[in-house]
Amino acid sequence: MKRITALVLCIALLALSFGACNRNDDDYITIIIGATPTPHAEILEFISPFLLEEGIRLDIRVFTDFSFPNPALSDGSLDANYFQHMPFLQNFMDRTGNQLHVVGAIHIEPMGAYSQSINHISELQQGALIAIPDCAVNGPRALILMENNGLLTLNPYAGFGASIHDIIDNPLDLEFVQIAAAMLPRVMLDEEADMSIINTNHVLFGAPNIDPVRDSLIMETTDTPYANMLVVRPEDADNPAMLTLLRHLQSERVREFILENYSGVVPVF
């Protein structure tokens, strides 16, 4: 009798254990999160199984256009996004009046200059055509990179909002074309410009045979305000599910995943 009772107890305990490991759909918290493809969505896919173990399911929505994830987060279509740095977020909030909250920073994707026709910036010819991002944040970032490498001088009052109209010294009479950031790898590969300034994530996604560390002519240092962040609405600043997501994004396994898979991308935690 005692054996039967012990057996029944063991079976009951196993059933409880099995049930805990196999939650019903209603037992999960779902986070709808917007991300650009590489590396952001791939990092989220990587940590998704570990979050499931803690009862959190990620519904990852992939965007290739930077202009959509912040409005989608503001209007409630997304619960969070992971694709942007602070200057980009600040520009959005200043333009729209919508307030969003940074939960934490994950990595930096240094911007670099690439060319199929030259091997060093000293080889740029008079009047060379330079392709830069057409957005109000990454365009200035490209110009600042060029200034930091002696190719031009910007009005010192322009700051992070510098445009081509703020160039006050241009020794090579460089010409500029502003193009959607996601299109710049194709511009570079097709040699439609003499040099293209491209975000590392777009190089990794749009030109996978190009190694940002090996093939860039110049590259930003990591001492910049351009760390990519997990962002939510203000009311979710202390949401336990979002803090759990951040903990996984800032984990040692993610650090190793980034360093092993994405040349030039640097964890900041």
pLDDT digits (tens, 9 = 90+) for 193-221: 999 999 999 999 999 999 999 999 999 99
Instruction: Give the SS3 label for residue 245.
Output: helix
pLDDT of residue 26: 72
Asked if the model's pLDDT at residue 253 lies above 70, the reply is yes
Instruction: Summarize pLDDT for 70-111 with one digit per residue, the tens.
Output: 999 999 999 999 999 999 999 999 999 999 999 999 999 999
pLDDT of residue 269: 95
pLDDT of residue 171: 97
Asked if the model's pLDDT at residue 18 lies above 60, the reply is no
Asked if the model's pLDDT at residue 233 lies above 60, the reply is yes
The pLDDT-based confidence of 25 (bands split at 50, 70, 90) is: low
Asked if the model's pLDDT at residue 20 lies above 90, the reply is no
In contact, 98 and 92? CB cutoff 8 Å: yes
Asked if the model's pLDDT at residue 119 lies above 70, the reply is yes
Instruction: Summarize pLDDT for 188-200 with one digit per residue, the tens.
Output: 999 999 999 999 9
For 117-151, b/e burial (b = at least 16 CB within 10 A) is ebeebeebeeebbbbbbebbbbbbbbbbbbbeeeb
The residues near 103 (Cβ < 8 Å, ≥ 6 apart) are: 80, 229, 230, 231, 232, 237, 242, 243, 245, 246
